[in-house]
Chain A
């Protein structure tokens, strides 16, 4: 079966750092995606981790531990425009399975 667990909502302050955790269980795992989705818009690609470790891309970093079935997305220097849902999505064979997403609220 497939199971993806991430917090439903988080709140952080502009300029701060926030870490969104995700645990997953899936067969045929071939990598972990993070997508960002603003309300009423399409998801957009943020990151893809295949190997264990941290991948840094500007203000966003993503970490993967394959053995633990665990990933996190780290957002630094938060901006108001980062208010969105963040979808943890393990790749499973020819499919990407999306989690329910974490709705991140940024306070001024």
Chain B
């Protein structure tokens, strides 16, 4: 059983389109995250949710909108895609927020988004 699963794994689309990436975790964790890893390999946090509540919004353009229907799911919707949005997007979860416990992150396999 995959602990953190995200779909799709690959996404190729045109500038200006809207796309979504879905994430689900079956670990019973309370906190979920979206990270972006660009071509320079920097892994940057975008959002975190704790039990469906937004905790971190890390200066991300409004075109990016996370949605957490329940604590096991955190989806990412991106409007009006731009070339600079091309990256690998990783979903992750942890048992507690990083300020509590050891905060070990469990990552999904990543979704590679290519904007043409």
Chain A residues in the interface with B (C-beta under 8 A):
30-31, 33, 35, 41-45, 48, 50, 85, 87, 91, 93-98, 100-101
What are 13 sample pairs from A and B whose C-beta atoms fall under 8 A apart? A33-B104, A35-B105, A42-B108, A43-B43, A44-B107, A48-B102, A91-B99, A94-B56, A94-B97, A94-B98, A95-B98, A97-B45, A98-B43
Complex CA gap A85/B40 in Å reads 12
- CB pair B99–A42 under 8 Å, yes or no, is no
- CB pair A30–B99 under 8 Å, yes or no, is yes
Binary A-proximity of B36-80 (CB < 8 A = 1, otherwise 0)? 000011111100100000011010000000000000000000000
- CB pair A95–B45 under 8 Å, yes or no, is yes
**Closest chain A CB from B99 CB (angstroms):** 5
A45-B105 in contact given A94-B99, A95-B98 (Cβ < 8 Å): yes
The residue from B42, B56, B102 contacting A31, defined by CB atoms under 8 A apart: B102
Q: Does B30 contact A (CB under 8 A)?
A: no
- CB pair A91–B103 under 8 Å, yes or no, is yes
Residues from chain A with Cβ under 8 Å of B43 in the complex: 43, 87, 98, 101
Binary A-proximity of B75-116 (CB < 8 A = 1, otherwise 0)? 000000000000000100000011100111111111000000
Q: Known A-B contacts: A41-B110, A44-B107, A95-B56. Give 6 more (CB < 8 A).
A: A33-B104, A35-B105, A48-B103, A96-B98, A96-B103, A96-B105
